[in-house]
Every structure is written in C-alpha cells, then in structure tokens.
Amino acid sequence: MRIGVITFPGSLDDRDAHRAVRLAGGEPVALWHGSHDLEGVDALILPGGFSYGDYLRCGAIASLSPIMTEVVDAANRGLPVLGICNGFQMLAEAHLLEGGLIRNDHGSFICRDQVLRVENASTAWTSEFEAGQEITIPLKNGEGGFIASEETLDRLEGEGRVAFRYVGVNPNGSLRDIAGIANAAGNVVGLMPHPEHAVEPGFGPDTAAAMRSGVDGLGFFTSVIRRTLVEA
C-alpha cells in the first residue's frame, strides 16, 4: 500500500505523516507540489503546516499548485485523500470539501490534546473506529474555525458527512463543534486535529495509562490501508 504525502512550501508535518504511514504498515511516497505525477499511489495525504506562509487565506495558494489538478481528478475518481489541518484548508479551497476555515474565534493560536467524537466510521479513513467512539488527537491551529451556510451544515449533518466533532470544549469556534468532514463518497476526509502526532507510544497525548501513550491517530492510517487492500 503506497500512500503519497505531498510537500508544499511551508509544510511542517509531512515527515510526521511519512512516519505514521510506516507505523501503520504502508509505504510513504514523497510527492512534490510542483509535479503533476502522483506516481501511482493508492492514497494521498495533504499534511499540516503553513503552506506559502498562509498568505491570502490558509491553503488558498497551495490549492492552485500544479499537483492539485491531479489530486482533484484522482479524488473525483475515488482515490482516498486525507487533508490534515492546512491540508483540510487546501481541500476546502479546492472545493473537494464544502465550507471553509477561518481565524479562531478567540484570535489566538491553540495547541492542545483534543477529544473528538467519531461521527462517521464508514469513510476510507475512519473504518477502524466505531461511530460514537471518543478519541484524543493533538490540535494546533490559528485558523481552524469551520464555517458553512446553515443549508450546507444541515446537508452535511443529514448526509452523515460530519466525520468528527469536538467534545468537551470547542477550541476554535467551529460551527456545530465540527472538527472534520467527508465528501459524499467518503473517500475524501479533512480535519483540523493532527492524527499523525498520535501514532507511537511515548510521543502521543497523555492517557489514563501513561504519559504520552496515546495512539488513537494510528486508526486513520490503518483504516485506509486495510480498506484499500480489501477492495483490491
């Protein structure tokens, strides 16, 4: 299972995504934003960071990078695509996901371990979870407030396309506590928290068992690997 990780100017978490893929049993493939070649990968990850310095709007310039033409085409053909934080912003700017991300309502950058509730466990990236399951994933963003029209929000809710919801505290003012959404087909998922930072004991969130022992993020990467192998 070969999973492409696209590096944009200003990407920070691409190497972390590579490590997460390896720990899940996949082969990470480094892809460059200026290329049109997806190198035959089986899935794609748009990692977190500050692409192009977050000028204009977060993810807006990166969404026009050459490789995004191929990403959009591949996603529309059903290739699994995961956008994490800045990657989620790119997917919204590229209109692969609905809504948008704006400045946190408190005006400050936030970094914390965040509890999420899995609302949709049937996407390509969430099948290792159960609907209603609560997981802890690190969060770090300055422009993570999810917005959409009431009509769009109602449609996302009605179609089961809210993938994750914040639990306990809404860290950025996202409407209806939405932390992540999926497209109608379920192959494209975007979320603001960083699952690639919760994949290895000793380096993840604190748990009741031990400090830094949380590995809830690993399920994102094992989900897409197992699902794709089964479908193949």
Q: What are phi and psi of 187, to 5 degrees?
A: -90, -20
Whether 196 is catalytic is yes
List Cβ neighbours of 73 (8 Å cut-off, separation of 6 or more): none
**Angle of helix 14-23 relative to helix 218-231, nearest 10 degrees?**
60
Helix, strand and coil percent figures for the chain, each rounded to 5: 30, 25, 45
Residue from 214, 184, 203, 180 nearest 83 by CA? 180
The CB density around residue 50, as the number of other CB atoms within 10 Å, is: 18
Whether 194 is catalytic is yes
Whether 58 is catalytic is no
Q: Where are the beta strands (DSSP E) in the chain?
A: 2-7, 27-32, 43-46, 81-84, 100-102, 110-118, 134-141, 145-147, 162-166, 178-182, 188-191
- Of the listed 18, 85, 93, 128, which one is catalytic? 85
Cα–Cα distance, 48 to 31 (Å, whole number): 14
Residues catalogued as catalytic: 85, 194, 196
